[in-house]
C-alpha cells in the first residue's frame, strides 16, 4: 500500500500536530502550575527526554521502512529529525534562560567543568548542521553521498544524548539505561546490515567476476 | 493530627516558609520511589504506627522508645530551618521536633562513643529494591549529633510528620545537605568507628561523611555555589554551612573541608 500524495500531506499534518503536542501540553501544565514544586527542573527534564525520544524515533524510520516495505515513511523522517532539534533547542533554552538566567560565566563554567553538560552541549552543537542541511537545496549542494555521511552524525549524537542523561542522574539509572539499550539496538542493527552487505558484496563480487567476466556491476544500497 | 502548642526556638529562620504542598509533594525518599513525586503517592508502603525507635551501641542504657515516649522526652519545639538539597534546590521548612541531644542523654553514651549511626526502616516487601544498599543509613560525629541545632523531627507545619517526609521520626541537621536527614528511623547506634553511610557506599567520590553545605566544594558533577529556593524563579547564592556557620563552624576548625567533604 502506498498512500497518494494527498494522503501523505494529510498524514504529515497529523504527524506534525502529534509531534508538537508534548510541547503544548508542557506549556499548558506550566500555565496551570501542574509541573510540581520545581517547574523549571520538570521543564528541563521533559524537553531533554523528548529530544532523546525524537532522536530514537528518527532512527527507527529506516528499519521500519526496510522491514515493512513502507518506503513512503521516509518522507516523514526530516520532520522527526527537525523536531528532535526543536526539542533540543527548547531544552538548551530552559537551561540557559530559566535555569541559569543567562549567567554566561556560570554557563561557560558548566560546559567546561561538568562532563554531563559538556556532552549534552556537544550533542546539540552537532545537531545544528544537520538541521541546517535538512532541505533539498543542501542535499543538492552537498551531493547525496556527502549529505548522507554528514547525517550519520545522528549516530554519535544519540549516544551522546544517552550519556548526557546517564551522567546526570544521581543514582537510579533505569531510565537512561532504557534509552541507551534502544539506541544501541537501533545502531547495532545498522552495523549488522552493513556487515551483511559487505559479505554479500564479497560473495557476489566473486561470482559475478566469473559469470560476467569482469564487467562491473555496481551495487547500490537501496 | 495537630501536635498542640509548640515552644519557639531562637534558631528558627525568619524567612518565608516553603508551601506545605511543595514540602509534601517534592521528596527524595527512595524507599518510596526515586521520582520526587513518588513518595507522596506511595505513602501506603510505610506504616508509621505502631513504631519503636531503638537506641543502642556504646550507651549505658540501651532501650527502645515508642513514639509516645519519644514525644515526652522534651517539650516539642517548632524549628524553622533552611534545607539545602545536594541537588541544588532548597526550602524553608517548619519542622516540629526535639533536640537529638535530649534522647542521647537518656541513653547515657559511654566515653568510647565517637559517632552516631542512624538507620532507617526498610521493608523489602513494599519498598524500592536496588539503587542503594538498604536499609538507608547515615552518620554524625557525636558532637554534631549533640549540637543544639540537630533535631529529631516528628512534625511539619504543626502536625504529625507526613509519611513522605520520613514519618514518624527523622533526623534533621540543617547545616548539612538534606540527605543526611535519615527518614523513618528505627535504630540509633553509638559507635567508636565512623559509620559507612549509604551514599558513601553508593558514590565515594561524590558523597563524603561530613556533607556540610559548602558553596566552595563542588559536587563532581555540578556546582554547589548556587541554589534554587523552591517557589522562586532566580537562583540564590548558597551560604557556607547553609547559613548556620556562626553556630557550627567551630566544630570544624582546622579541618580541610575539601578533604573532609
The 3-state secondary structure of chain B, one letter per residue: CECCCCECCCCCCCCCCCCHHHHHHCCCCHHHCCCCCHHHHCHHHCCCCCCEEEEEECECCCEEEEHHHHHCCCCCEEEEEEEECCCCEEEEEEEEEEEHHHHHHHHCECCCCCEEEEEECCCCCCCCCCCCCCCCEEEEEHHHHHCCCCEEEEEECCEECCHHHCCCCEEECCCECHHHCCCCEEEEEEECCCCCCHHHHHCCCCCCCCCECCCCCCECCECCCEEEECCCCCCEECCHHHHCHHHHHHHHCCCCCCCCC
pLDDT for A123 equals 97
Partner residue facing B25 (CB), from A37, A98, A115 = A37
Q: Domain for residue B258, yes or no?
A: no
Pick out chain A residues at pLDDT < 50: 222
Q: Which residues of B touch A (CB under 8 A)?
A: 19, 21-22, 25-26, 30, 34, 36-37, 87, 89, 131-132, 202-203, 218, 221-223, 225-226, 228, 230-231, 233-235
Return the ∠ at Cα A54 (arms to A50 and A55), rounded to 5°: 115
**B77 backbone dihedrals φ, ψ, rounded to 5°:** -120, 150
**Contact call for residues B36 and A36 (beta carbons, < 8 A):** yes
pLDDT digits (tens, 9 = 90+) for A27-37: 999 999 889 89
CB contact under 8 A, A106 and B226: yes
Which residues make Cβ contacts (< 8 Å) with residue A187, sequence separation at least 6?
Answer: A59, A155, A158, A159
Structural domain count, chain B: 1
Which of A79, A82, A72 minimizes the C-alpha distance to A5? Answer: A72
pLDDT for A100 equals 85
CA closest to B220 among chain A residues? A114
**Rounded-to-integer distance, Cα B211 and Cα B190, Å:** 19
**Contact call for residues B30 and B171 (beta carbons, < 8 A):** no
Helix (H) or strand (E) holding A98: none
Pick out chain B residues at pLDDT < 70: none
Q: Which three cell numbers stand for residue A140?
A: 543538492
CB contact under 8 A, B22 and A37: yes
Q: Domain for residue B139, yes or no?
A: yes
Residue B98's CATH number? 3.90.420.10
Q: Domain for residue B41, yes or no?
A: yes
CA closest to B219 among chain A residues? A114
Radius of gyration of chain A (CA): 21
pLDDT for A171 equals 79
Q: Domain for residue B194, yes or no?
A: yes
**B217 backbone dihedrals φ, ψ, rounded to 5°:** -110, 105
CA closest to A164 among chain B residues? B221
CB contact under 8 A, A114 and B222: yes
**B229 backbone dihedrals φ, ψ, rounded to 5°:** -75, 125
**Rounded-to-integer distance, Cα B207 and Cα B225, Å:** 17
- Distance from the A5 Cα atom to the nearest Cα atom in chain B, whole angstroms: 45
Domain ranges of chain A: 5-176
**Rounded-to-integer distance, Cα A166 and Cα A179, Å:** 9
The phi-psi region of residue A91 (left if phi > 0; otherwise alpha if psi is between -120 and 50; otherwise beta) is: alpha
**Rounded-to-integer distance, Cα A117 and Cα A103, Å:** 15
Neighbours of B216 (CB within 10 A): 10
- Distance from the A160 Cα atom to the nearest Cα atom in chain B, whole angstroms: 16
Write down the ipTM of this complex.
0.73
**Omega of the bond prior to B135 within 30 degrees of 0, cis?**
yes
Q: Quick one: B221 exposed, middle or buried, by C-beta within 10 A (0-12, 13-18, 19+)?
A: middle
For B203, the domain range is 20-252
CB contact under 8 A, A36 and B36: yes
Angle between helices A154-168 and A174-212 (to 10 degrees): 160
pLDDT for A205 equals 63
Going A92 to A95 to A97 to A103, the CA torsion angle's sign is negative
pLDDT for A222 equals 43
**Contact call for residues A54 and A123 (beta carbons, < 8 A):** no
User: Which of A29, A30, A34, A37 is the mutation pick for testing B, counting most B CBs within 10 A?
Assistant: A37
Which of B102, B94, B85, B256 minimizes the C-alpha distance to B161? Answer: B94
pLDDT for A99 equals 85
**Contact call for residues B46 and B30 (beta carbons, < 8 A):** no
Amino acid at each position: 500500500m502506498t498512500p497518494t500524495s494527498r494522503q501523505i500531506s494529510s498524514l504529515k499534518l497529523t504527524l506534525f500536530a502529534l509531534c508538537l503536542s508534548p510541547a503544548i501540553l508542557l506549556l499548558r501544565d506550566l500555565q496551570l502550575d501542574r509541573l510540581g514544586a520545581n517547574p523549571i527542573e520538570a521543564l528541563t527534564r521533559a524537553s531533554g527526554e523528548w529530544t532523546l525520544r525524537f532522536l530514537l524515533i528518527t532512527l527507527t524510520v529506516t528499519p521500519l521502512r526496510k522491514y515493512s516495505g513502507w518506503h513512503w515513511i521516509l518522507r516523514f523522517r526530516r520532520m522527526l529529525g527537525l523536531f528532535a532539534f526543536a526539542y533540543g533547542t527548547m531544552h538548551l533554552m530552559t537551561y540557559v534562560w530559566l535555569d541559569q538566567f543567562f549567567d554566561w560565566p556560570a554557563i561557560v563554567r558548566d560546559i567546561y567543568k561538568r562532563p554531563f553538560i559538556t556532552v549534552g552541549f556537544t550533542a546539540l552543537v552537532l545537531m545544528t548542521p544537520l538541521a541546517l542541511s535538512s532541505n533539498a537545496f543542501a542535499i543538492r549542494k552537498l551531493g547525496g553521498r556527502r549529505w548522507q555521511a554528514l547525517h550519520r552524525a545522528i549516530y554519535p549524537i544519540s549516544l551522546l544524548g544517552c550519556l548526557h542523561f546517564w551522567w546526570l542522574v544521581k543514582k537510579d539509572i533505569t531510565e537512561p539505561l532504557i534509552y541507551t539499550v534502544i539506541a544501541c539496538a537501533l545502531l547495532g542493527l545498522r552495523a549488522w546490515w552493513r556487515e551483511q552487505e559487505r559479505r554479500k558484496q564479497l560473495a557476489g563480487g566473486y561470482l559475478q567476476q566469473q559469470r560476467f567476466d569482469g564487467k562491473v556491476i555496481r551495487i547500490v544500497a537501496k | 493530627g495537630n501536635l498542640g502548642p509548640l515552644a519557639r526556638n531562637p534558631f528558627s529562620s525568619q524567612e518565608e516558609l516553603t508551601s506545605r504542598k511543595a514540602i509534601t509533594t517534592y521528596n527524595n525518599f527512595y524507599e518510596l520511589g526515586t521520582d520526587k513525586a513518588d513518595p507522596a503517592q506511595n505513602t501506603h508502603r510505610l506504616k508509621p504506627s505502631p513504631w519503636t525507635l531503638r537506641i543502642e551501641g556504646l550507651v549505658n542504657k540501651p532501650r527502645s522508645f515508642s513514639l509516645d515516649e519519644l514525644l515526652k522526652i522534651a517539650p516539642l519545639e517548632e524549628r524553622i530551618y533552611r534545607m539545602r538539597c545536594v541537588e541544588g534546590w532548597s526550602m524553608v521548612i517548619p519542622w516540629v521536633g526535639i533536640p537529638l541531644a535530649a534522647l542521647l542523654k537518656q541513653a547515657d553514651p559511654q566515653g568510647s562513643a565517637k559517632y552516631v549511626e542512624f538507620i532507617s526502616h526498610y521493608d523489602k516487601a513494599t519498598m524500592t529494591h536496588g539503587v542503594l544498599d538498604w536499609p538507608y543509613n547515615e552518620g554524625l560525629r557525636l558532637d554534631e549529633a549533640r549540637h543544639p541545632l540537630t533535631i529529631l523531627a516528628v512534625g511539619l507545619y504543626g502536625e504529625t510528620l507526613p509519611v513522605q517526609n520520613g514519618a514518624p521520626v527523622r533526623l534533621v541537621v540543617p547545616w548539612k545537605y538534606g540527605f543526611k536527614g535519615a527518614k523513618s528511623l528505627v535504630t540509633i547506634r553509638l559507635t567508636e568507628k565512623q559509620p559507612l553511610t549509604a551514599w558513601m557506599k553508593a558514590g565515594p567520590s561524590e558523597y563524603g561523611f561530613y556533607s556540610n553545605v559548602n558553596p566552595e566544594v563542588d559536587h563532581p558533577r555540578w556546582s554547589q555555589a548556587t541554589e534554587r529556593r523552591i517557589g522562586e524563579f532566580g537562583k540564590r547564592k548558597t551560604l557556607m554551612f547553609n547559613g548556620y556557620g556562626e553556630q557550627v563552624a567551630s566544630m570544624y576548625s582546622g579541618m580541610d573541608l575539601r578533604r573532609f567533604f
